[in-house]
Each structure stands twice: as C-alpha cells, then as structure tokens.
Amino acid sequence: MTRFIILILLCITSVANAIGGEVPDTMAERVKACTICHSAEDKVGRDAYYPRIAGKPQGYIFNQLRNFRDGRRYYQPMVVLLENMSDEYLREIAQYFSSLQLPYPDPERIQMQPEEIKLAQHLIYSGSPERNIPPCSACHGDILMGVEPAIPGLIGLSRAYITAQLGGWRSGSIMRSRTSDCMSEIAKQLTEREVNAVAKWLANQSVSGKPGSFNVLSPELVARCSRTILENGGAE
C-alpha cells in the first residue's frame, strides 16, 4: 500500500512540475513511476520482492507489461499504470528498460549445505525427467542469463524474489488464465526443499554474460512454453 501511495504522489508531482516548469519529454522521465520499485539499486529487505528489469530481454518485458494490462497477471499498482497504454507504447517502455546496462548487485552469499548445492545444480542443469521437469538451463540459457527475445535471466535476482515467484507459479497466483502454462506446470512439481535450494543457489551466483539466442531452445520446449515465450503466447 505504501508503494501504491508513493506512486500516486509521484504522478501528482509530475503533473505539478509540468505546470510549473518544463520537464524533458524523455522515456527516462516517463518511467519514473516504474523506477520507484524497479530501481537500479541493490534490493534488500522488502524491496527484494521487486525485480530488476533493466537489461532483461525486450520481448519478456513487453509480454509481462501486456499481461498486467490485460489482466492475465494482477498487481494493483501495475494495473493502474498500464490499463490505458497501447501495445506500441508498451514496446517503447520494454525497449527502454531492455537497453539499460546497469551494474548488478553482488551475490547474496547464502550458506548452503553440500546436499542443497547438489540438489539445486541437478535441477538447474539436469532437471528431473521422470517428473517431466526440464533443466532450468534448457530455457533460461546455459549461463542462466536468459534467452532473447522473451525468456528472462535467473542470475542477479534475490533469493526472496525467486522464492516468491516459484511459490506464485506453484499456487497459480501469477497468471490468471484458463489454460495452464509451462512454468506453472513445472513449479507445481517442485517440493519446498527444492524451491529453497534452487533460490539459494541462484542468488549466490555472480552475473556473467548476456542473454542467449532463441535458436538454442529445443522445438519441444518452444511448443510447451509458447504461451510464455512467444509475443502472442499470453493471449487467450
């Protein structure tokens, strides 16, 4: 609620500034309401639940903006911000944030037991075929920095955010849709222990490299996850 109030106050302040003096008509100015939560600063405490979007694949950002606007994802401040924006403008916003190359925070350095590390690495790089769980690296890239144009990286995110997202996929609270999606199907197969191990391990890794190319994805995964990774995949 506090974030929502601040967001509204910022919008009011922006209008007042526009009346009182000239404000540069730049995308950086236009997205200031976004950077209240999605700032370039290190995320600690409650702020860890707001992800970094700078440098993420443009298609991924666009898909999520459209999902919020169209009600497939729901978070009130996002809905209020986006409800009257066109696809064209959402693409401009996505392009702007995707182009930002800002420093990443240092890894979290979370203590892990050897068996936790082994479990996390197995799921991330080998998956669990008997449960129809592909390795994380199969979609998010060998170095887990994402795949252009629409799959996000997993490195550089906080443990709190990763845990919350996996929990949301498991409970079905992230995507409001009559049709299931691949991340929900996969996350529902994970145990609490597996979620915690994966979140810890990912949060402990240093950022290195850039998103990979779409052609590294197998046709099977593209078909399975088309609702998530293709530009029209979220449409019902």
Q: What is the DSSP string of 30-69?
A: HTHHHHTTS-SSPP-GGGGGS---TTS-HHHHHHHHHHHH
Whether 201 contacts 112, CB under 8 Å: yes
Residue that terminates a domain, selected from 40, 64, 99: 99
Residue 12 in tokens? 């009011």
**Listed residues 99, 122, 145: the one ending a domain:** 99
pLDDT at residue number 2? 47
Residue 236 lies in a domain: no
CB 180 within 8 A of CB 224: no
Domain that holds residue 182: 114-229
For residue 30, being part of any structural domain is answered with: yes
For CA atoms 228, 233, 235, 236, the dihedral sign is negative
One domain for residues 124 and 95: no
72 & 137 share domain: no
pLDDT tens per residue, the chain (236 residues)?
Answer: 545 444 544 554 454 444 456 778 899 899 988 888 887 555 555 456 788 888 889 999 999 999 999 988 888 889 899 999 999 999 999 999 999 988 888 899 999 999 999 999 999 999 999 999 999 999 899 999 998 888 999 999 999 999 999 998 888 888 766 555 788 899 999 999 999 999 999 999 999 888 887 777 788 877 778 766 665 444 33
Phi, psi of 128 (to 5 degrees): -140, 80
Claim to verify: residue 16 and residue 65 sit in the same structural domain: yes
Q: Are residues 70 and 137 in the same domain?
A: no
Calculate ∠ Cα 99-103-104, nearest 5°.
105
CA–CA gap between residue 151 and residue 138 (Å, rounded): 11
- Asked whether residue 106 is domain-assigned, the answer is no
Give the domain CATH number at 26. 1.10.760.10
Global pTM value: 0.80
How far is 42 from 107, CA to CA, in rounded Å? Answer: 10
What's the DSSP call for residue 233?
T
Helices 192-203 & 159-171 angle (0-180, nearest 10) = 150
d(CA 122, CA 165): 20
155 lies in the same domain as 53 = no
- Based on the structure, what is the number of domains in the chain? 2
Could you give the CA distance from residue 109 to residue 224 in angstroms, rounded to a whole number? Answer: 34
Pair 34, 135 in one domain: no
Boundary residue ending a domain (99, 130, 157): 99
Q: Is 211 exposed, middle or buried (0-12, 13-18, 19+ CB in 10 A)?
A: buried
